[in-house]
């Protein structure tokens, strides 16, 4: 995966962690597959629903063993401005006490690839850009996992319908592009078409075995925005898991979510 593709995907992190503008189409019916929406159309609708104003997201990462016992806690902060001049995205990983451990900033000064700036430590020191597939600080999440970079893979197709959290979702199958790193043969996406939100994603290997599962656990509508509050990332076959819990969301500097995540929706 090129840095350009990674950069575009990182900028779209809010697809699952932040907000999506509400839309209310009729719920899809179980129609013949010939009439299902094109996969690229579904994915474009997810990206198009991203907010066009600055967004601040603060969340907690809880690394857990297969029994659900918390092994470590980190904090994450994301400052996203898709329509800024220039567009920017900044991601900070902090320890449980708030000290900065890693940071990644992307800036789109001109059309073309973004400029990356990676830092470590407190105070932050600029370092060479790392492998974006490596797990972040012992969690199950890498920079690429956070980025949902597969949204930019070509050649997908809509293969079915399934209910996730009581909502009917289209299933999109995306093969990994030739030469893609990370050991993924492809990903399977569950997209809710009424609110244009990705509710589940599974990465699998060449044998079809699931390697990584991202599940939205809870979300709710606040004003005219749908907010994803809690999600889990699970690694297979070991079933180690990292939970992300959104604690604070501000849009254009105005807080719209504070405190614990809401009930499952």
- Between CA 165 and CA 172, with CA 170 as vertex, the angle to 5 degrees is 120
Residue 118 has pLDDT above 50, yes or no: yes
- Residue 201: pLDDT band with limits 50, 70, 90: very high
pTM for this predicted structure:
0.81
Domain membership flag for residue 262: no
Task: State the pLDDT at residue 202.
Answer: 93
Residue 127 has pLDDT above 60, yes or no: yes
Domain membership flag for residue 45: yes
Task: State the pLDDT at residue 168.
Answer: 94
CB 188 within 8 A of CB 164: no
The CA distance from 215 to 230, in Å, is 9
Q: What total number of domains does the chain contain?
A: 1
Domain membership flag for residue 263: no
3-state SS assignment for residue 70: strand
Higher-pLDDT residue of 150, 33: 150
Task: State the pLDDT at residue 138.
Answer: 86
Domain that holds residue 88: 3-252
- Between CA 36 and CA 132, with CA 190 as vertex, the angle to 5 degrees is 130
Higher-pLDDT residue of 106, 119: 119
Residue 9 has pLDDT above 60, yes or no: no
Residue 19 has pLDDT above 70, yes or no: no
In the chain, what percentage of residues exceed pLDDT 70? 80
Name the H helices within the chain.
Answer: 3-11, 14-17, 39-48, 143-147
Domain membership flag for residue 209: yes
DSSP state of 85: S
Average per-residue pLDDT in the chain? 81
CATH number of the domain to which 16 belongs:
2.50.20.10
Q: What is the pLDDT of residues 22-40, one digit of tens each?
A: 444 455 555 556 689 999 9
């Amino acid at each position: 995966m090129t840095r350009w593709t990674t950069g575009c995907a990182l900028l779209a992190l809010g697809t699952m962690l932040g907000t999506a503008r509400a839309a209310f189409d009729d719920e899809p019916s179980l129609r013949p597959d010939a009439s299902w929406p094109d996969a690229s159309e579904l994915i474009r609708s997810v990206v198009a629903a991203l907010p066009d104003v600055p967004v601040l997201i603060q969340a907690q990462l809880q690394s857990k063993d297969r029994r659900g016992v918390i092994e470590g806690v980190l904090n994450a902060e994301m400052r996203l401005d898709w329509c800024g001049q220039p567009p920017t995205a900044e991601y900070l990983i902090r320890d449980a006490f708030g000290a900065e451990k890693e940071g990644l900033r992307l800036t789109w000064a001109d059309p073309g690839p973004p400029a990356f700036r990676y830092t470590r430590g407190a105070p932050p020191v600029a370092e060479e850009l790392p492998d974006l597939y490596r797990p972040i600080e012992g969690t199950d999440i890498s920079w690429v996992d956070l980025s949902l970079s597969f949204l930019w893979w070509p050649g997908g197709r809509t293969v079915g319908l399934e209910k996730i959290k009581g909502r009917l979702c289209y299933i999109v199958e995306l093969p990994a592009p030739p030469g893609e790193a990370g050991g993924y043969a492809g990903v399977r996406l569950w997209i809710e078409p009424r609110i244009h939100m990705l509710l589940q994603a599974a990465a699998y290997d060449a044998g079809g075995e699931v390697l990584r599962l991202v599940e939205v656990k809870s979300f709710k509508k606040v004003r005219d925005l749908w907010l994803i509050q809690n999600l889990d990332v699970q690694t297979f076959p070991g079933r180690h898991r990292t939970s992300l819990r959104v604690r604070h969301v501000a849009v254009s500097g105005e807080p719209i979510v504070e405190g614990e995540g809401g009930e499952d929706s």
